[in-house]
Structure 1
Amino acid sequence: MASSPTPSADSRNRAAALREALATRVVVADGAMGTMLQAQDPSLDDFQNLEGCNEILNVTRPDIVRSVHEEYFAVGVDCVETNTFGANLAALGEYDIPERVFELSESGARIAREVADEFTAATGQQRWVLGSMGPGTKLPTLGHAPYTRLRDAYQSNAEGMIAGGADALLIETTQDLLQT
């Protein structure tokens, strides 16, 4: 496992501002990522022949991912989620690319961070990036995969998103407390 990235002063300031906003007002986040990506009809080449692996678009078609974030910020959301829901050992393992967890997590967060910073600069309204951590399909409680292997991959997922500029991590739709 890599060592945890040290957050910059800007990152710490954004995180503190996000905590303050969450404590004092309604903070609006974006909606669906996958359906917005699919609506742009990416080709099989865009997926590097890994049909349905939306996270690969972070490196092959960052313009598509960027456009989704731009659309959400343009209508006024405060936060966007990274295109990293499936950037975990189980999901990427189904495509035989589990070693790309960090790469796809970092690139997904970097794209969102760039767009968030552009909108913050243009409007003066702080925008945030939520690092999306999806559950995958392997449940450690049921013995589908060793806990330590899943833990290490989720750590790589989190480290990639932090390195890419995520302000917070969002653990989504898990169904196994050990997985969470």
Structure 2
Amino acid sequence: MASSPPFPSADSRTRVSALREALASRVVVADGAMGTMLQAQDPTLEDFQQLEGCNEILNLTRPDIVRSVHEAYFAVGVDCVETNTFGANHSALGEYDIPE
């Protein structure tokens, strides 16, 4: 038996609605170079779980670093930030032998 797809929460629908309204009425500013900002935090090889350069692993090992980058972008007025999952795909993570 297949499960039904999850429905967005009321909070999620509110955010989507606000984003659509903003997109319809003005230029929306997104964040910039996530990887560069993460690297500027000087994560250690231990932070990368010995997978140097695998920024996506920082979501698990150092969410504080990822959060600080988001906060820095919001502090200068961006409207939205990415989730630091740009390289979270089978091909890119396969380079680190962790495609699963």
Partner residue, 2:60: 59
Partner residue, 1:119: none
Question: 1:100-133, CA deviations, whole angstroms, 9 ceiling, x for partnerless residues?
Answer: xxxxxxxxxxxxxxxxxxxxxxxxxxxxxxxxxx
Unaligned runs of 5+ in 2: none
Counterpart mapping for 1:25-40 below 5 A? 25-40=26-41
The whole-number CA distance in structure 1 between the counterparts of 2:12 and 2:26 is 21
Counterpart mapping for 1:61-140 below 5 A? 61-99=62-100
More strand by share: 1
Partner residue, 1:178: none
Partner residue, 2:46: 45
More helix by share: 1
Structure 1 residue 9: deviation in Å?
Answer: 1.1
Unaligned runs of 5+ in 1: 100-180
TM-score, with length taken from structure 1: 0.52
Structure 1 residue 40: deviation in Å?
Answer: 1.0
TM-score, with length taken from structure 2: 0.92
Counterpart amino acid of residue 30 in structure 1: D
Structure 1 residue 70: deviation in Å?
Answer: 0.5
